[in-house]
Structure 1
Amino acid sequence: MVTAQVVFKLPRPLPEFNTTTDYFIQSDPKQPRQHPITNFGLKDQWTWDSLIEQIKLLPSHKLFLLQRHGEGYHNIAPANYSKHEWNCYWQLRSGNGEVEWEDARLTPTGQAQITSLQKQITNTENFPRPHAFYVSPLRRTLETWELTWYDQGEVATIKELARETYGIGTESKRHSKTYIETHYPGFAFELGFTESDELWNPDFHESEQHRNYRAAKLLQEIFNENQENNVISLVAHSGLIKSILQVIGHRKWPMYTGELIPVVIAMTYDSKTYSLDDPWRSLKDVCKV
């Protein structure tokens, strides 16, 4: 695990990653956008079985099931306030006395979204079973993973690098390791996972540039940990998934809450040094209307 301070101060080359337009509608800029997409976007000339057999022939390629959490209370709370009120005051609070959005949990709508997704997975013929599961440590992603995959009898590994863009807003602040162990038993923690949240900062908001570097580092770790595994599940956030798609050269694909898109990702032997010179935004920057 790499802390934000170390990543920010010590940029280093990482492998280059890419994707292909061959298998999925969402990965092919020539295809019109569809929401929702039939059969998770798998093109008609492929079956799930033939796709997996093809990936097995390409050791540097893996099928990632990129999943955004269901609707959380932080997703609906801003609608109750003006942009200025939310950015400059309310997002700094844990809640408003009626709704808590710090490390937000799923709303009933969010739970229903994931229940529907789980049924879609179950009803999709020969949908690939992940060989490894990874999840962000925030409550909404842990709850999303449980509703989607718990019945598979597998264990997901919590990774700090899989978090949403963090800082200033309390929705991006995680609970302690002890809290997670107590309230969400059955998850594995990556080596070095700290007791307290050492990434979140009340004064600064992570830059997109840094989040992209973090996404590339996360992909590198997952590839290195899964030499023989072909199918990877990652439950994360819209910002983090946006960065993954950008890192691999995928077209932009806005992720709705509760959505899952399969994407084939390859790790190459080429390297890339990520610039980390963009400043992180302060509260004064965020508060501008």
Structure 2
Amino acid sequence: MSDLIKVTQCDVEDAHANADQEVIYTKLISEARYQRDPQTGKTLRPWRFEVVQGMFKQSDESTDELSFDLLKENFGLAVSSWTALKVKLHQLNLDKKPNESYKLLICARHGQGYHNEAVSIFGIEEWNNHWSHRTGTTLPDGREIVWGPDPMLTPLGERQADELNKAWKRQIEHGAPIPTRYFSSPFSRSCMTLVRTWKDISICEENEDPTQLLSSKRHLPIVTENLRETIGSHLCDKRSPKRIIAQRFSKFGFTFEKGFQEEDIYYRDDWRESLSEQSLRADAFLQDVFENYPDDVYISSTSHAGEIRAIITALGHRKFAIPTAGTIPIVVKGTRIQEELVA
């Protein structure tokens, strides 16, 4: 297994916690199917999603998440080659019904942030009970670490993202598709992971020549609130103002979703979002992708462990632990339910 990107027992416990919330989510999403836009009267969640099996090892119940090696196992590719995957996906979209769509969703977790380092130092119980509500501390060796709000990547986190970059370049040499649409959580650790992962592939600075990219075209990531980590209580999960995010990442082509607010209007000190609530957010992200980007088959999203767990829940995918800088590709079938069936 890669020395830089490897699953910990904490990652596994996190991925399998709060199983009761999945039952609650099923009830909440069933109710949400009937919600309509008050201005247009259209259904807000017209798409239903399912995982296409047999494409990636992570969706196979027999795959051991603790021994699975993301980089050595071609990101989990379960078919004979990336070319075979692209052919299968292309054929699925050729044969689909008018209200169906198939996409490859590449869900990446950010590299190690200073809050992750703090958890490794203090332990998860001390983190949840005390340190997550602080902005940082000075360690016994005199080193100061800051994790809230909106922590940055640690040097290890940067190396992890750079390792991902090398891995994707190797896979692209062997036929892996380059995403045509990129989404990021608004947190700096995710935005910077996206930059370092896709640098020279499809992301560059504004003063660099985009024709030198492997994609031959510069892509502009979209910052979206629905990809942010579990909301509330933990100061590492309070985002920076919009102007700060723009100062850090607009040079890399980052744009903001419509309606993105200057300040973090969602964070609260006295409340923590449940998995069922976060999974509703994840479903809203998927709704946006399938409804508003019909021509993009290969989608990259860079977010967080909790958010990927929520996406997995929304899709009905098996639970699977994702390490810092880990990635889980999922082929998703979306079916758009006709308005009259939802009314």
TM-score surpassing 0.5?
A: yes
Distance 1:84 1:230, change over 3 A: closer
Q: Does 1:252 align with 2:287?
A: no
2:304 pairs, out of 230, 237, 240, with: 237
Pick the structure with greater CA Rg. 2
Over 3 Å counting, the alpha-carbon distance change for 1:127 and 1:92 in structure 2 is same
Distance 1:118 1:12 in 2: 38
The answer as to whether partners of 2:49 and 2:335 remain within 8 angstroms in 1 is yes
Q: Decide whether the 8 Å contact of 2:190 with 2:303 is kept in 1.
A: yes
Report % sequence identity.
34
Which residue number in structure 1 is paired with residue 87 of structure 2? 53
Which residue is 2:196 aligned to? 147
223 and 80 in structure 1: CA distance in 2 versus 1, 3 angstrom threshold = same
- Match in the other structure for 2:294: 227
CA deviation after TM superposition for structure 1 residue 229, in Å: 1.2
Q: Aligned with 1:140: secondary structure? A: helix
Query: CA shift at 1:170, angstroms?
Result: 0.5
- Tell me what 1:100 maps to: 146
1:22 equivalenced with 2:87 (yes/no): no
Q: How far off is 1:156 after superposition?
A: 0.4
Q: Secondary structure at the match of 2:117?
A: helix
Structure 2: runs of 5+ lacking an equivalent: 1-27, 34-44, 94-100, 139-143, 203-217, 339-343
Partner in structure 2 of residue 212 of structure 1: 279
Q: Which residue does the alignment assign to 1:284?
A: none
Q: 2:186 aligns with which of 137, 154, 157?
A: 137
1:85 CA displacement: 4.6
Which residue does the alignment assign to 1:280? none
Q: What's the CA shift for 1:267?
A: 1.2
TM-score by length of 1: 0.85
Whether 1:159 aligns to 2:224 is yes
Taking the aligned partners of 1:76 and 1:251, their CA distance within structure 2 comes to: 27
CA distance in 2, matches of 1:61, 1:242: 21
Stretch moving more, 49-58 or 192-201: 49-58
| TM-score (norm. length: structure 2) | 0.72
Report if the CA contact (8 A) 1:23-1:46 is conserved. no
Give the drift of 1:16.
2.0
Aligned positions, number = 261
Q: Deviations over 1:136-183 (max 9, x none)?
A: 000100110110113223210000000010101101000000011112
Secondary structure of 1:205's aligned partner: coil
Question: What do residues 76-128 of structure 1 show as CA deviations (whole Å, max 9, x unaligned)?
Answer: 11344366653343211221251110111111111111111110110111111
Task: Give the superposition deviation at 1:270.
Answer: 4.6
Query: Kindly tell me: are residues 31 and 16 of structure 1, through their superposed partners in 2, closer, same or farther at Cα, counting changes over 3 Å?
Result: same
CA root-mean-square deviation? 1.8
Q: Tell me how far 1:223 sits from its aligned partner.
A: 1.1
Aligned residue number for residue 68 of structure 2: 35
Secondary structure of the structure 2 residue equivalent to 1:99: strand
Q: Is the 8 A contact 2:279 2:310 kept in 1?
A: yes
> Distance in 2 between the 1:247 and 1:105 partners?
28
User: How far apart in 2 are the matches of 1:35 and 1:150?
Assistant: 26
SS in 2 for 1:246: helix
Closer, same or farther: CA 22–161 of 1 in aligned 2, 3 Å: same
SS at match of 2:294: coil
Question: In the alignment, does 2:128 pair up with 1:87?
Answer: yes
* One-letter code aligned to 1:177: K
Deviations 1:1-46 (A, max 9, x none): xxxxxxx9xx621332100222111111134444213111112x43
Whether 1:122 and 2:169 are equivalent positions in the alignment is yes
Please list every run of at least 4 consecutive aligned residues from structure 1 whose deviation after the TM superposition is greater than 4 angstroms: 82-85
Tell me which residue corresponds to 1:12: 32
